[in-house]
Amino acid sequence: MTTLVILLFLLFLLMGIPISLVLGMITIVYFLLMGNTTLLTSTPMRLYSGLENFGLLAIPLFMLAGELMNGGGITTRLVQFAKVFVGHVRGGLAYVTVVSNMFLASILGSANAQAAMMSKVMVPEMEKEGYDREFSSALTLASSIVAPIIPPSMIFIIYGTLSGTSIGGLFMAGIVPGIIYGIGFTALIAYLGYKNNFPKSKRASGKEMLRSTVQVLPALLVPFIIIFGILSGAFTATESAAIACVVAFLVGTFLYKELHVKKLPQILINTVISTATVTFLIAMANIFGWMIAFEQIPQLIAGTMLSVSDSPFVFLLLVNLLLLLLGMILDGIAALIILVPVLMPLVTAFQIDPIHFGVIICINLTIGLLTPPVGTGLFIVSSIAEVKFERLVKATMPFLVMAIAILFVITYWEDAVLFVPKILGLSQ
């Protein structure tokens, strides 16, 4: 029966059915084949119980904060700020794309949302300056993977909820890896810029730099309040999301005066649609995980991995390889929800810090946005930037190699991840 369920799962994926529906359909088929009416009648309750967690409330709130910042002109000022300071060097707009993504990562927390938004903003600008459209699109997509690393992060919230790990600790643990990714992509751009003779923009005057700095200060209030609030213990990660919404609304409405009442209905609609998509996936993945637990698959995987080696080094290597393969065919959030209950007993057995492991698994699955055939980021950027899928895949390869290389650095350099949480007493 298990073999039949696996074959149906693969068949549904190949048919192009959304992963959230596949997870639900497979679970129902499994229960029907078993003839276990008790499990079948308990499924609706299980769907709702998977969403009864206070930590998940942060997801719609951070999404709303991102929409408010987009509508209020905050994101455009962050991009302009980056352009004024680094746009004049060779490959300047490429650096601006990386720096802007690092700024926006502290607001949106979603790589897909960030890739979509930055594709609309930066790809046309880079093309005007003489950059290749495929390279511009690939850079925009690759840079967006820092969104789930630098706090706040939707995928950290989900991992923390599933594993019982401190979400505040995860947020702080993402800071150094996010910076490392920014440095890595910047170094790659420097090499490509020297090799391909990238263009550079006109140097901004001191007056323009000062004006841009003054304009961006209110925009920086949102990430500052989120991080400072969590660090100081003034509020939780979920409460910080609500505060961020209030600040984004006030800044966009009264300081920048771009957030008009007529924009609010569309902002709320976008937030509801995005939230519904994620929560539906979480609910379906929850009953799928229930089915996996019923079949004792976690115990089987745990036993197999423990039989291979009792070394944490080897375990992390195997986990990374597994996740990179799964990231090619599964949505990152779906894979996270399915795998965390399976892997957490092993994390405990190998005495790996759950915060460190959370950063590893979240980064790994985010890299899946860059990998064919199911990399959602590839489809999003290909569609918005109007670049052929296969050309975008080819242009993304150097950034994918860099992303994987940094992933392994972070995997085996624990102090890089836990440095900030340890200082703040959020990790042992």
Q: Are residues 17 and 107 in the same domain?
A: no
For the residues of 190-246, what is the DSSP string, one character each?
Answer: HHHHHHHT---PPPPPHHHHHHHHHHHTTTTHHHHHHHHHHHHTSS-HHHHHHHHHH
Say how far apart CA 279 and CA 155 lie, in whole Å. 12
218 contacts 69 by C-beta, under 8 angstroms:
no
Q: Are residues 14 and 147 in the same domain?
A: no
Say how far apart CA 200 and CA 60 lie, in whole Å. 39
Q: Are residues 411 and 323 in the same domain?
A: yes
Q: Are residues 45 and 87 in the same domain?
A: no
Q: Are residues 216 and 226 in the same domain?
A: yes
Say how far apart CA 222 and CA 275 lie, in whole Å. 20
205: domain range? 50-423
Predicted pLDDT of residue 68: 85
For the residues of 39-104, what is the DSSP string, one character each?
Answer: HHHHHHHHHHHTT--GGGGHHHHHHHHHHHHHHTTHHHHHHHHHHHHHTTSTTHHHHHHHHHHHHH
Say if 333 falls within a structural domain: yes
Say if 45 falls within a structural domain: yes
Q: Are residues 242 and 263 in the same domain?
A: yes
Q: Are residues 30 and 55 in the same domain?
A: no
Say if 87 falls within a structural domain: yes
Structure tokens at 125: 């600008």
Say if 207 falls within a structural domain: yes
* CB neighbour class for 99 (10 Å; exposed up to 12, middle 13-18, buried from 19): buried
Q: Are residues 41 and 68 in the same domain?
A: no
Predicted pLDDT of residue 150: 81
Q: Are residues 5 and 127 in the same domain?
A: no
Q: Are residues 229 and 274 in the same domain?
A: yes
pLDDT tens per residue across all 428 residues of the chain: 667 777 887 788 778 777 778 878 888 888 888 877 777 788 888 777 767 766 677 778 877 877 887 788 877 787 778 778 776 777 787 888 887 777 776 666 567 767 776 777 778 878 877 888 898 899 888 888 887 788 777 788 889 888 888 888 888 898 899 889 989 998 998 888 888 877 776 777 778 888 888 888 887 777 777 777 776 777 776 787 788 888 889 988 988 888 888 889 998 998 888 778 777 877 787 777 777 767 776 567 667 776 777 788 888 998 888 888 777 766 677 778 778 888 888 888 888 999 999 999 989 988 887 887 667 677 778 877 778 878 888 899 999 999 999 999 999 999 989 988 888 777 76
pTM, whole model, 2 decimals?
0.76
Say if 233 falls within a structural domain: yes
Number of domains in the chain: 2
Q: Are residues 19 and 127 in the same domain?
A: no
Q: What angle do CA 392, 175, 362 make, to 5 degrees?
A: 55
Q: Are residues 267 and 360 in the same domain?
A: yes
Say if 428 falls within a structural domain: no
- HSE, side-chain direction, 13 A CA sphere, residue 23: 25
